[in-house]
Amino acid sequence: MNENIVEISKKNEVAFAIEENDFADLILNFLGKKEKIIFYKDNIEFKIRHNDIEQFFYLLDAKINKESYTNISHFSLTILYNDNTSREINGIKALNQFNETRDVIPKAIILSWNIILSFPNSTTVENQKVEVVLSITDKTSFINIEVEHTNSAWGKEVLNLLEEHSKSLIVERHPLLNNSYKLMNFLKYNVFDILTIALGIVFLVILFNLSSDSLNHKQVYSMSKIIEIGKKNNDMEVQLSFNMIKGTYSDIKTIDIIQNKEIRKILKKQIVENKKESSAFKYRFMSVIGGIIGFIFVLFWLLKQNIKFYSEKSFILITTRVEKLYEKYEKSKSKLEYYSISLIAFSIIVGLLVNALYQFMVG
């Protein structure tokens, strides 16, 4: 590299003349041949406090100091608030003394490092960049870690170190929450198919009962009495009576064609019983349909209660306002209320199922 002093000013400023190729080599050696590795995770809920943010710094600082490489590093923290303002903090001392007095809610934090390292067996210093982002949006929360490095082994170690700490901030979802979401989505997109299948099954059972030649015990008893009385009468009158009992002729006025008074009395009583049985069958049918529809609606209600109770929200707990919002959010999850509602919903579901099954099987 050719270096020539071209001017010395009264302000003790020194200027150097450097050839273009030498200047390019200087910049490239400083920057190094950079690669980038990324860890990204969304659709999560996390809670991060002031000491958790500090821990990111101390973890990376301990790694750099342990390796005893020649290094210079700069650390900064940027906080984005819900009022579209931001605040930048430079250095760990400033972070330790940080105290936000404004009535604002943090929506994202960005931790960034610029690190100049001289690796062993390397004649140049090289610049490494690390960035950690934790963000809360209306739709989702995410964690993004990027390591821009010139040494792949070092870059992977840093990424793994920061990734492990970030995972410790993620709130683990209750298994019942995931199952509730899955079942809710299944019902939401298949409710009409479920109702169609259920109604189809009930309809087939009705057709089977209507086409069945089986008689109930009251009809059998009435027919046995007619047979006993009808021994003295012709077969035509007995057969006609049987048809009336089976429902072929359900109008009481048609009984007048029967000559035997005792048979007419039995027939009148049986036709009334047949109409009662028909009304009961219609009631059972409506009970089954109502039970199925009621079961689906109550199940929806129960799933919503599960999602409300077991769901979590992301919080960046570094301001007084957010601390209060977090306390209010936790208190809103009343175990007594949840278990009471769940017990009521479960009881209703069991009651509907038992009633529908009874009405479906009876008779």
Shared-domain flag, residues 257 and 203: yes
DSSP string, 258-274: ---HHHHHHHHHHHHHH
Q: Could you tell me the pTM of the whole model?
A: 0.63
- Residue 140, pLDDT above cutoff 50: yes
pLDDT top residue among 19 and 122: 122
- Residue 142, pLDDT above cutoff 90: yes
Shared-domain flag, residues 222 and 260: yes
**CB 1: neighbour CB atoms within 10 A?**
10
Cβ proximity of 281 and 292 under 8 Å: no
Provide the percentage of residues in the chain whose pLDDT is more than 90: 31
Question: What's the number of domains the chain is made of?
Answer: 3
CA distance 262 to 238: 12
Q: Name the CA dihedral angle for 86, 87, 88, 92, rounded to a multiple of 10 degrees.
A: -140
Shared-domain flag, residues 143 and 285: no
The tally of CA atoms less than 13 A away on the side-chain side of residue 209 is 17
Segment among 42-46, 92-96, 266-270 with least mean pLDDT = 266-270
CA 44 to chain centre: 11
Model confidence over 69-90: pLDDT tens digits? 767 789 999 999 999 999 999 9
Shared-domain flag, residues 201 and 305: yes
Task: Identify which of 100, 313, 274, 194 has the alpha carbon closest to the alpha carbon of residue 202.
Answer: 194
Model confidence over 115-133: pLDDT tens digits? 888 877 777 778 899 999 9
CA distance 79 to 256: 95
* pLDDT-derived band at 24, boundaries 50, 70, 90: low
Predicted confidence at residue 187, as pLDDT, reads: 77
The secondary structure of 322-341, three-state, reads HHHHHHHHHHCCCHHHHHHH
Q: Which two tokens stand for residue 72?
A: 């210079």
Segment among 55-69, 137-151, 165-179, 274-288 with least mean pLDDT = 274-288
Shared-domain flag, residues 236 and 339: yes
Range of the domain at 65: 33-167
| Torsion 358-360-361-363 (CA) sign | positive
Cβ proximity of 56 and 167 under 8 Å: no
| Torsion 277-283-287-288 (CA) sign | positive
Segment among 32-46, 98-112, 142-156, 336-350 with least mean pLDDT = 336-350
Task: Identify which of 121, 151, 146 has the alpha carbon closest to the alpha carbon of residue 32.
Answer: 151
Predicted confidence at residue 241, as pLDDT, reads: 56
Shared-domain flag, residues 222 and 304: yes
Of these ranges, 26-35, 40-49, 302-311, the one predicted with the greatest mean pLDDT is 40-49
pLDDT top residue among 43 and 269: 43
Predicted confidence at residue 1, as pLDDT, reads: 45
Shared-domain flag, residues 49 and 129: yes
Predicted confidence at residue 229, as pLDDT, reads: 56
Q: Which residues, other chains included, contact 141 with Cβ-Cβ below 8 Å and sequence gap of 6+? A: 42, 43, 44, 45, 46, 134, 135, 314
What pairs with residue 115 in β-bridges? 73, 128
Model confidence over 233-262: pLDDT tens digits? 555 555 555 555 555 444 545 565 555 666
Shared-domain flag, residues 158 and 270: no
Q: Which two tokens stand for residue 104?
A: 């604002």
Shared-domain flag, residues 183 and 290: yes
Predicted confidence at residue 213, as pLDDT, reads: 46
Shared-domain flag, residues 237 and 93: no
φ/ψ of 119, rounded to 5, equals: -70, 155
Shared-domain flag, residues 205 and 152: no
* pLDDT-derived band at 295, boundaries 50, 70, 90: confident
Model confidence over 200-243: pLDDT tens digits? 766 666 666 555 444 555 555 555 565 555 555 555 555 555 55
The one-character DSSP state at 162 is H
CA distance 88 to 77: 6
Give, for 106, the enclosing helix (H) or strand (E).
strand 106-118
DSSP string, 216-258: -HHHHHHHHHHHHHGGGS-HHHHHHHHHHHHTSS--GGGGGG-
* pLDDT-derived band at 108, boundaries 50, 70, 90: very high
CA distance 127 to 226: 107
Shared-domain flag, residues 25 and 56: no
Cβ proximity of 45 and 171 under 8 Å: yes
Segment among 8-22, 28-42, 295-309 with least mean pLDDT = 8-22
Domain boundary among 134, 167, 200: 167
Angle at 235 between CA 232 and CA 237, to 5 degrees: 85
* pLDDT-derived band at 7, boundaries 50, 70, 90: very low
Across the range 83-110, mean pLDDT stands at 93
